[in-house]
Amino acid sequence: MWKKLLFWRKDLPPPRSQAFWGNLPIATDRDYVADAGDPLLCSIVAAAVYWIARNLAQVKWRVLDRNGVEIDSPIPALLARPNFYHDGSMLLHATVASLITHGNSYWILDGGARRRPTALWWYPPESVQAETGEVEEDGVRVRKLIARYVLSTSEGKRTVPPEEVVHLRYGLSSDLRYGASPLESLWRAIAGDHEAQAFATAILRNLGVIGLVIAPKQSAYLAPEQQALMEREFAERFTREGRGRVYIPSEPVEVQLLQHDLAKMNVSPITNLFEERICSVLGIPPMVLHLGAGTEHATYSNAEQAYRAAWESMMAPLIGSLASQLTAQLVERVHGAGVRLVPDWDSVPAMARVRQEQARIFIDLLDRGVVTVAEVRRALSLPTDESQNILLLPLNRTPVEGYLDAQQEEA
């Protein structure tokens, strides 16, 4: 399998994944998609993608049955070691990069048709097309939204049945076969960040800055040979470790230090705008990525809050979405319906405090008799059984029968 996936064609354009509400073009004469280029070449996007991938690799996975009891399954081991050449962190890194920049990520399964995959292979999304068509089921032709996947390789196109593909999506596009990249609304910001970096680099590369001016006094004249000698002598004696030495010129000259206000060429306020917009769409505070927009007023307290906000607004929903999609497309192929893949939140240090607060909330509801013991245990990803479908009613609360009927009669 790996030999077939090693090369792919680059001439196949990726499908445009416009969101339902994003089909109207922005009124502009610039092609900001072309100006933005590869989103991962934007340092802000790259910082966000790498942060998500590093933290996603911390998550351990469990497979639970209908009652929330963990079962012996090959899926967690397969996610930790998808194939002979890659480990789980590499697979997740490529998957996150595809989801953020393209909106889609594809895994090709070895042994997928046998219901027990033996390997997972990430495949570049720009080389995959989902085709609608008819398939035969029990002797009847049925039209499917996705009848097959067409992979573009160096040897040509190759058709793969949906049973051998895990198609992960980030949201949903107007073309229901594909997901939608969150960067669709950020091409202008990414292109602007490229321009800001090019501007700052061009200033450093092209702007000639003169450190000192040594000029003869009044009408004194220095021959070119004297100028070259004085310049060489000054550079050798008073630069680097010679800074601060006493200078006694042999000719009547004036030495003037030129000062430059580089603050006037500062583009940080503009780049901060791009950083804030990109981070806002991705749900990660700039402070978490150590960007300029987030480090100006950073303290230990608000840095901890920002890190927690990133997990709650970005990581937890993403992990939940991946768990749901992998359950439908991978776990149920192996174990059948009713079995689900869940993240082991206890393996993630950043979620420890969130989990503690969730546990306190559910235990309070349990103490008030609002939820059953089984509901609390399922919410905390703990195993349950039928005997736990009970309410624990407080002893200091007495039910009053007919109260609502009496109120209605009085009205």
Contact (CB, 8 A) for 141 and 197: no
Amino acid at site 217: K
Radius of gyration of the chain (CA): 32
Please report the beta strands in 259-390, taking only residues with DSSP state E, as ranges in sequence order.
340-344
Taking 80 as the threshold, does the pLDDT of residue 266 lie above it? no
Contact (CB, 8 A) for 259 and 212: no
Per-residue pLDDT reduced to its tens digit, 55-103: 998 888 999 988 888 889 999 999 999 999 999 999 999 999 999 999 9
* CA gap 351, 336 in Å, rounded: 30
Q: Give pLDDT, residue 363.
A: 84
Instruction: Out of 187-191, 214-218, 354-358, 381-385, pick the least confident.
Output: 214-218
Please report the beta strands in 22-155, taking only residues with DSSP state E, as ranges in sequence order.
60-64, 104-110, 119-123, 128-137, 140-153
User: pLDDT category, 121, cuts 50, 70, 90?
Assistant: very high
Contact (CB, 8 A) for 94 and 168: no
Q: Residue 355: name the closest of 311, 392, 325 by CA.
A: 311
Tokens 């970096």 label which residue? 197
Per-residue pLDDT reduced to its tens digit, 362-403: 888 888 888 888 888 877 777 777 788 888 877 766 666 665
Residues in Cβ contact with 327 at an 8 Å cutoff, skipping those fewer than 6 apart: 339, 340, 341
Taking 70 as the threshold, does the pLDDT of residue 277 lie above it? yes
Contact (CB, 8 A) for 268 and 286: no
pTM of the model: 0.73
Over range 101-127, report the average pLDDT.
86
